[in-house]
């Protein structure tokens, strides 16, 4: 009898230990450094995850700038209070180099990565290891004002029938815009702009010009612009843009935040912008527009390189729950259920191949989204892969701004190479 009681006691203790371990597992709580603007959608996502896994995920929301500062201060100093962070994709290399992100390579199979756009995977990789996974994406679309172009006598069929395999060239768009301006605003008194970029002097969008001529973003070390900017691709792109400004086809003096308003108010004929722009058209009650794929340069039809990238999720290198945090990141970014739910809630360009294919085949998917899907799968070109991205964007933004304002292209390039060299010395010591 004593033996039986002892055996029963051992079984009860083991059962209690297992129950305790299960309860402990169920009580895991993960904390995300997140964007306040996404609170409603992310709340639904983490609630769904809790229902399915018993793992509670808590959002700690910040504005864009405050979020970046919090990551720098908290994760940069080794805080263990956070498990997951939203990562602005150009900063992956910087965070990884400084040991702020956990290596996610063991958690994602080759099959998983094959379901994500190659450009997104490349941008999430540093020194051969995966440090983040994309939650959404972005791409470019050329929008045009159908009302103004029709008033100028332009046959819209050429633009409306353009495809990724039969793109309108940058040269042709400039020609159409210049001719239309001569009809609509010959003395420039109405302030109509022929063609412009949503982000008139920013790396994200402007670099598509040299990239579409075969130009690189930065050298393979990530710390030099020598052999990059002083090439035919960059010189041709910068000169072309400067000529567009000098001719009055592209604008001068209008900021990136102001530029879209010119399209809403019928003061801009062509605008290359992100795939999300139609949501703003609706808000502004601007309904006379159409769109087509990004243009190509004549003779470089096979070199089209479209801007891409958005927000990714990474795991803090100091998380006490790395496995659980990685599991959430993989669920959010690499499962049909989560990616479809997040698209339903947020409407941003997805990354998961199954959903992309479903949207591409759906006749109800808007034209701009179908263009963005095609570009993200075929022409997407990641931003500069460098731990010095902040320094890089500062220098290259200045290159585009100075070029736009008429500075000598060769002198601007020479300055940029030297300036970036000086700003990245700290990374080489």
We report the CATH number of the domain holding residue 288 as: 3.40.190.10
According to the model, what pLDDT value does residue 9 have? 42
Relative orientation angle of helices 336-346 and 353-361, to the nearest 10 degrees = 50
> How many of the other CB atoms lie within 10 Å of CB of 143?
23
What is the separation of C-alpha 59 from the centre of its chain, rounded to a whole number of angstroms? 22
d(CA 29, CA 117) in angstroms, rounded, equals 30
Split into its structural domains, the chain has a count of 2
According to the model, what pLDDT value does residue 312 have? 97
Judgement on whether residues 317 and 302 belong to the same structural domain of the protein: no
**Domain extent for 64:** 2-137+309-381
Question: In this structure, what token pair is assigned to residue 31?
Answer: 């904390």
User: What is each CA distance from 316 to 30, 31, 116, 344, 374, in whole angstroms?
Assistant: 11, 10, 22, 28, 33
Specify the 3-state DSSP secondary structure of 77. Answer: helix
Per-residue pLDDT tens, the chain, 429 aa: give them: 444 444 444 444 444 444 444 444 458 999 999 999 999 999 999 999 999 999 999 999 999 999 999 999 999 999 999 999 999 999 999 999 999 999 999 999 999 999 999 999 999 999 999 999 999 999 999 999 999 999 999 999 999 999 999 999 999 999 999 999 999 999 999 999 999 999 999 999 999 999 999 999 999 999 999 999 999 999 999 999 999 999 999 999 999 999 999 999 999 999 999 999 999 999 999 999 999 999 999 999 999 999 999 999 999 999 999 999 999 999 999 999 999 999 999 999 999 999 999 999 999 999 999 999 999 999 999 999 999 999 999 999 999 999 999 999 999 999 999 999 999 999 987
Judgement on whether residues 180 and 107 belong to the same structural domain of the protein: no
d(CA 357, CA 280) in angstroms, rounded, equals 25
- Per-residue HEC secondary structure of 170-236 comes to HHHHHHHHHHHHHHHCCCCCCCCEEEEECCCCCHHHHCHHHHCCCCCCCCCCCCCCCCCCCCHHHHH
Reported as a single tens digit per residue, the pLDDT across 327-344 is: 999 999 999 999 999 999
According to the model, what pLDDT value does residue 22 have? 44
Judgement on whether residues 223 and 144 belong to the same structural domain of the protein: yes
Judgement on whether residues 394 and 420 belong to the same structural domain of the protein: yes
Start-to-end CA distance of the chain, whole Å, equals 75
Contact partners, residue 77, CB within 8 Å, separation at least 6: none
Burial class, 114, CB count within 10 angstroms (exposed 0-12 / middle 13-18 / buried 19+): exposed
The answer to whether residues 230 and 425 touch, using CB atoms and an 8 Å cutoff, is no
Q: Percent of the chain beyond pLDDT 90?
A: 93
Specify the 3-state DSSP secondary structure of 389. Answer: helix
According to the model, what pLDDT value does residue 63 have? 95
Judgement on whether residues 299 and 328 belong to the same structural domain of the protein: no
According to the model, what pLDDT value does residue 27 have? 81
Residue at token pair 């046959």: 155
According to the model, what pLDDT value does residue 26 have? 55
Contact partners, residue 379, CB within 8 Å, separation at least 6: 164, 294, 304, 305, 306
Judgement on whether residues 6 and 103 belong to the same structural domain of the protein: yes
According to the model, what pLDDT value does residue 75 have? 95
Contact partners, residue 336, CB within 8 Å, separation at least 6: 352, 354, 355
Judgement on whether residues 154 and 299 belong to the same structural domain of the protein: yes
Mode of pairing for the β-strands spanning 125-126 and 129-130: antiparallel
According to the model, what pLDDT value does residue 24 have? 45
The answer to whether residues 409 and 238 touch, using CB atoms and an 8 Å cutoff, is yes
Strands (DSSP E) along 259-320, which ranges?
268-274, 289-292, 306-307, 311-315
Judgement on whether residues 149 and 188 belong to the same structural domain of the protein: yes
**Which residues on adjacent β-strands are paired with residue 316?**
101
Reported as a single tens digit per residue, the pLDDT across 83-111 is: 999 999 999 999 999 999 999 999 999 99
Mode of pairing for the β-strands spanning 268-274 and 56-62: unpaired
Please list, residue by residue across 344-360, b when 16 or more beta carbons sit within 10 angstroms of its beta carbon and e when fewer do.
eebebbbbbbebbeebe
Specify the 3-state DSSP secondary structure of 144. Answer: strand
Rg of the Cα atoms in the chain: 25
Judgement on whether residues 188 and 175 belong to the same structural domain of the protein: yes
Judgement on whether residues 89 and 197 belong to the same structural domain of the protein: no
Judgement on whether residues 395 and 361 belong to the same structural domain of the protein: no
d(CA 135, CA 38) in angstroms, rounded, equals 12
**Which residues on adjacent β-strands are paired with residue 197?**
272
What is the separation of C-alpha 237 from the centre of its chain, rounded to a whole number of angstroms? 22
Judgement on whether residues 243 and 368 belong to the same structural domain of the protein: no
């Amino acid at each position: 009898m004593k033996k039986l009681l002892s055996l029963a006691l051992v079984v009860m203790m083991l059962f209690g230990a297992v129950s305790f371990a299960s309860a402990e597992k169920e009580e895991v709580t993960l904390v995300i450094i997140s964007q306040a603007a996404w609170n409603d959608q992310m709340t639904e996502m983490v609630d769904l995850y809790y229902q399915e896994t018993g793992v509670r995920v808590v959002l700690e929301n910040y504005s864009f700038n405050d979020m970046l500062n919090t990551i720098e201060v908290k994760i940069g100093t080794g805080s263990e209070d956070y498990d997951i962070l939203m990562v602005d994709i150009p900063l992956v290399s910087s965070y990884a180099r400084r040991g702020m992100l956990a290596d996610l390579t063991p958690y994602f199979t080759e099959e998983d990565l094959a379901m994500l756009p190659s450009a997104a995977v490349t941008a999430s990789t540093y020194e051969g290891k995966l440090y983040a996974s994309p939650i959404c994406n972005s791409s470019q679309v050329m929008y045009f004002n159908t009302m103004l172009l029709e008033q100028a006598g332009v046959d819209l069929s050429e633009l409306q029938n353009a495809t990724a395999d039969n793109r309108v060239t940058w040269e042709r768009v400039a020609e159409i815009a210049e001719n239309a301006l001569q009809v609509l605003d010959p003395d420039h008194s109405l302030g109509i702009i022929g063609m412009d970029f949503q982000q008139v002097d920013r790396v994200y969008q402007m670099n598509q010009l040299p990239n579409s001529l075969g130009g690189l973003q930065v050298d393979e070390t990530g710390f030099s612009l020598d052999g990059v900017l002083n090439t035919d691709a960059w010189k041709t792109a910068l000169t072309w843009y400067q000529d567009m400004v000098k001719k009055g086809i592209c604008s001068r003096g209008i900021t990136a935040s102001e530029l879209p308003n010119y399209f809403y108010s019928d003061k801009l004929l062509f605008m290359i912008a992100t795939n999300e722009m139609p949501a703003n058209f609706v808000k502004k009650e601007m309904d006379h527009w159409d769109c087509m794929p990004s243009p190509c340069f004549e003779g470089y039809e096979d070199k089209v390189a479209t801007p891409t990238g958005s927000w990714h999720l990474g795991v803090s290198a100091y998380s006490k729950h790395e496995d659980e945090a990685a599991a959430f990141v993989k669920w959010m970014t690499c499962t049909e259920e989560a990616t479809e739910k997040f698209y339903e809630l947020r409407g941003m360009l997805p990354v998961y191949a199954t959903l992309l294919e479903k949207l591409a085949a759906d006749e109800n998917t808007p034209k701009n989204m179908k263009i963005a899907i095609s570009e993200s799968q075929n022409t997407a070109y990641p931003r500069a892969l460098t731990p010095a991205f902040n320094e890089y964007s500062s220098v290259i933004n200045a290159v585009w701004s100075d070029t736009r304002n008429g500075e000598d292209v060769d002198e601007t390039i020479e300055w940029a190479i030297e300036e970036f060299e000086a700003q990245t010395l700290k990374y080489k010591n």
